Amino acid sequence: MRRTPRVSLPAGFILAFLLPALLAAKPDPADQAGNNTESSEGQWVFSLLPKSFQDNPFVDQTVITEMTDEGKKLPPPSRAKPVYYFAQPAGYHVEGHGTAANQPPPEELLARSMRQALAVNGYTPAPPGKPPALLILYVWGVHNNFDTNLDPSMQDVGGTFLDVGHRNLLSRAALVGGTRFAGELKAAMEQHDRMQETPTTPLLDPLRLFTERDPKTRQLVEQSKADCYYVVASAYDYQAGVHGQRKLLWRSKMTVDARGVSMTDTLPTLILNAGKFLGRDMPEAATMTRRMQRNGQTTLGPLEVKEYLEKLPPPAGKSSDPVPEKKP
């Protein structure tokens, strides 16, 4: 079996690209309006047992890819016309407050999952002698909710807890639903806070109206409130990086609800489930509910694509009309 050569990059080269804009790939709202993406919204699953006591619990996952203007100029790859890349793991990180409750999965397991997921859309590791077009850096970790009990000496002076809690929530919302979703949630929260100063009808609460506008938004808000495990893959122009320039092309954010499950059981399959979305501009986050196996495998149900990508033209000489199903 031929091994892919491992290339080591200087530490300064990696750090120059890594965390300054982890949550900052801003989508263009004008390009995103009026589109749909895949979702399992409305699939509500209830169980009396906590997930930690279930053998094969359902877990909620989200994926969002945000393209920069430079990234949108590039033609999307395919298996027939692959784009070569060099991937560099950038390690485990704890965001938010507190510490992780369990150990992260082995790095090689995540690397293998990332290679398989990137291959779905035609991203291929650069072979020897072939210069890569992309440098893909990926980080993983846990983003914990704000906990006021972590430091009993803290006092809520001038709304300190409220401000820190808001920042914590919005940071996780950018991971779960993307930068645009986090901006909309921030606006709703600010209107909600202003309305608390005067009596108002609960039905007119801007935060409630935003949360209940559709099933997907409700799911994204609820997942933003909970601890989550995440993987963030950022694709940069490789040649620009060689010359000391940081040119971000796209960033994919993947999250899974951390309640009652381990990182080892969830992160590898989270990456695999996200394969079709990596490097593809998405107008909104995709939400998925999948049954998890405690042995580190996930049973994938049928995925339904709701035309968030442009429809490909039919092969030459073939009609684009669907072929009628043959009745048994």
Give, in order, the Cα–Cα distances in Å from 241 to each of 10, 46, 128, 309, 316.
Answer: 12, 48, 19, 29, 39
Q: Is residue 222 part of a domain?
A: yes
* Dihedral of the alpha carbons of 89, 257, 218, 71, in degrees to the nearest 10: 10
Contact 191, 206 (CB under 8 A): yes
In the chain, the number of structural domains is 1
Give, in order, the Cα–Cα distances in Å from 263 to each of 27, 38, 93, 110.
Answer: 29, 24, 13, 11
pLDDT digits (tens, 9 = 90+) for 151-210: 544 444 444 445 788 899 999 999 999 999 999 999 999 988 888 766 666 668 899 999
Contact 110, 153 (CB under 8 A): no
The predicted pLDDT at position 200 comes to 60
With 80 as the cut, is the pLDDT of residue 36 above it?
Answer: no
Q: Is residue 131 part of a domain?
A: yes
Cα distance between residue 42 and residue 57, in whole Å: 17
294 compared with 236, residue with greater pLDDT: 236
Q: What is the mean pLDDT of the chain?
A: 75
Full residue range of the structural domain in which residue 131 is found? 11-33+49-147+171-179+214-299
Q: Is residue 184 part of a domain?
A: no
Q: Is residue 209 part of a domain?
A: no
What is the token pair recorded at 18?
């890594």
- CATH code at position 54: 3.30.160
Q: Is residue 39 part of a domain?
A: no
Q: Is residue 321 part of a domain?
A: no
The predicted pLDDT at position 291 comes to 73
Cα distance between residue 78 and residue 75, in whole Å: 9
Contact 93, 141 (CB under 8 A): yes
Q: What Rg value do the Cα atoms of the chain yield, rounded?
A: 21
What is the token pair recorded at 153?
């000496």
Residue type, 248: L
Residue corresponding to tokens 């049973």: 299
Q: Is residue 327 part of a domain?
A: no
Residue type, 171: S
Q: Is residue 162 part of a domain?
A: no
pLDDT digits (tens, 9 = 90+) for 268-307: 999 999 999 999 999 999 999 877 655 544 444 433 333 3
